Structure 1
Amino acid sequence: MIRPFAIAVALVAPPALADDHDEAGFGPAGVLSSGNKHDLPPILLSAGMPLAEAPLTLRSGSYYEIEIEADGSQELALTAPEFFRAIWIDEIVIEGLEIRPLGLDSVEFDEAGVMEIGFLAIKPGRYEIQVPGGGESQRLAVTIE
């Protein structure tokens, strides 16, 4: 014998999003909205010089833009395979050209120039961005909380 049963559905308003940047929650563009966008201090590539003044602390779910600037003093690369796999790269801009990659392992500057990377921090953890063979001063610690 099949017994009829009833399913009760309660319509409940969703809880307010806990967002330090926008009390009303994300806008129509979601995580890519301007209220969720942050500019980071630039990374400076110069022979034997530190990459940045302090480590970076990022928030998972936040959108960031960072400039990487090379002074041309030496051909220099930045490697960060684990970090690049912990973020979603929206775009890389080089001299007005926008690149939308599926992934990234490293970048290299053969001469002076500026590159901007826009990305969404995703996977919490501790990562390093470094110049290969550059020593401790040419490493930048990045934490995604």
Structure 2
Amino acid sequence: MKPFALAAALVIAACPVAAHDFGFAGVLSNTNTGEMPEITLSVGKPLADGPITLKSGMLYELEIEADGSGELGLEGPGFFRAIWVNEVVVNGLEIRPYGVESVEFDEEGTMEIEFLAIKPGQYYLKIPGSTGESQRVDITIQ
């Protein structure tokens, strides 16, 4: 029985969760949140000020604001597969989707996507069908 107790103690000591005190809500606690710049959807204007860097295991809130200057959307299937979406909030309505492939705004409005960054890598969000550098934002998950 002693070898089992020793092995269990080693597993618990090596567990990365044991090294963090995330609190009652675990990875969704407010001590595990990161800041993310807002993305703006507007005809002829850049999506963001520059590339975005996120840390895997951190909770973020992506705020997307559309000014209504055109019917615009965002796509980034690689990015949306590298995150776990906790909720999408539109006009105060909370949606808890299984996954997201893209979003679209037909008129002026704001959308918030709360997510947990999971898979490290290089990703992007862009306006579908666009080719301009400013119509795309590169996102790195470290």
- Which of the residues 37, 44, 55 maps onto 2:40? 44
Q: Is the counterpart of residue 142 in structure 1 residue 139 in structure 2?
A: yes
Q: Offset of 1:7 from its aligned partner?
A: 5.3
Partner of 1:130: 126
1:8-48: per-residue Cα shift (whole Å, max 9, x none)?
23245625859xxxx96321211001000123111000001
The CA RMSD over aligned residues, in Å, is 2.0
List runs of 5+ in structure 2 lacking aligned partners.
none
Q: Is the counterpart of residue 14 in structure 1 residue 13 in structure 2?
A: yes
Q: Is the counterpart of residue 86 in structure 1 residue 82 in structure 2?
A: yes
1:53-87: per-residue Cα shift (whole Å, max 9, x none)?
01110111000001000000010010011100000
Q: In the superposition, relative to structure 1, how do residues 123 and 114 fare at CA in structure 2: closer, same or farther (>3 Å)? A: same
- Stretches of 4+ aligned residues off by more than 6 angstroms: none
Q: Calculate percent identity across the aligned residue pairs.
A: 56
Task: Give distance in 2, aligned partners of 1:54 and 1:45.
Answer: 14
- Which of the residues 70, 73, 78 maps onto 1:77? 73
Q: TM-score, normalised by structure 1?
A: 0.86
Task: Give distance in 1, aligned partners of 2:110 and 2:92.
Answer: 10
Q: Give the secondary-structure state (helix, strand or coil) at the position aligned to 2:100.
A: coil
- Which of the residues 97, 101, 115 maps onto 1:101? 97
Q: Is the counterpart of residue 64 in structure 1 residue 60 in structure 2?
A: yes
Q: Decide whether the 8 Å contact of 1:93 with 1:116 is kept in 2.
A: yes
Q: Is the counterpart of residue 34 in structure 1 residue 33 in structure 2?
A: no
Larger Rg: 1
Partner of 1:3: none
Structure with bigger helix share is 2
Q: Give the secondary-structure state (helix, strand or coil) at the position aligned to 1:68.
A: strand
1:83 is aligned with what amino acid? F
Task: Give distance in 1, aligned partners of 2:26 and 2:20.
Answer: 12
Task: Give distance in 2, aligned partners of 1:64 and 1:94.
Answer: 16
